[in-house]
Amino acid sequence: MQLTRAADYAVRVMIHLAGLPPGARVNRSELSAIAECPTQFLCKVLQNLTRAGLVISHRGNTGGFELEEMHRTASVLEVVEAVEGPIRLNVCLTSEHACAGQSWCPARGVWAAAQGALVEVLGGATISCLAQQPATARQPVIVGIDEARRS
């Protein structure tokens, strides 16, 4: 499972907004530059965040987007799910009747544990805490699978 770029953009936008003083508004083009996202695509991301109630959209000359005070403590999980929907690592975790092998499949426990760990990590990371961390130099972090472990 890989989250879409939309989730990454949404988290970047939320972190930026959380780093601003309460009541500060930012226009789409500025958010687009900060998130390094095409403006048209960011519009869809912002629509999802607004629908979820995480950001407020203001129209007009003094318009823009702002983060309500109560949503500064939103978790990364809340932001990702506002854009992606509920996170499910495997179809067997979507409902009790999603897979015929749920009652006997030995892998289901592994999928459930992995999903639980992912939800715990994303749910424990708040936007306001991330906004307080200093930005680091831009060096890509690539997590690979150890070839020895695959044998």
Considering the entire predicted model, what is its pTM?
0.80
The answer on pLDDT for 16 being more than 90 is: yes
Instruction: Retrieve residue 73's tokens.
Output: 């403590």
Asked whether 17 and 26 are in contact (CB, 8 A), the reply is yes
**Residue 88 — very low, low, confident or very high, per pLDDT cuts 50/70/90?**
confident
More confident residue, 86 or 90: 86
Asked whether 54 and 14 are in contact (CB, 8 A), the reply is yes
The answer on pLDDT for 19 being more than 70 is: yes
The answer on pLDDT for 11 being more than 70 is: yes
pLDDT digits (tens, 9 = 90+) for 126-147: 999 999 887 665 455 565 655 5
The residue type at 128 = S
Tell me what the pLDDT averaged over the chain comes to. 84
Q: What is the pLDDT of residue 141?
A: 52
Asked whether 65 and 58 are in contact (CB, 8 A), the reply is yes
Helices 28-35, 39-51: crossing angle, 10 deg rounding: 100
More confident residue, 42 or 141: 42
The answer on pLDDT for 81 being more than 70 is: yes
CB contact set of 38 (below 8 Å; sequence gap of 6+): 32
State how far the Cα of 114 lies from the Cα of 33, in Å rounded to an integer: 34
| Ordered structural domains, the chain, with CATH | 5-86+126-134 (1.10.10.10)
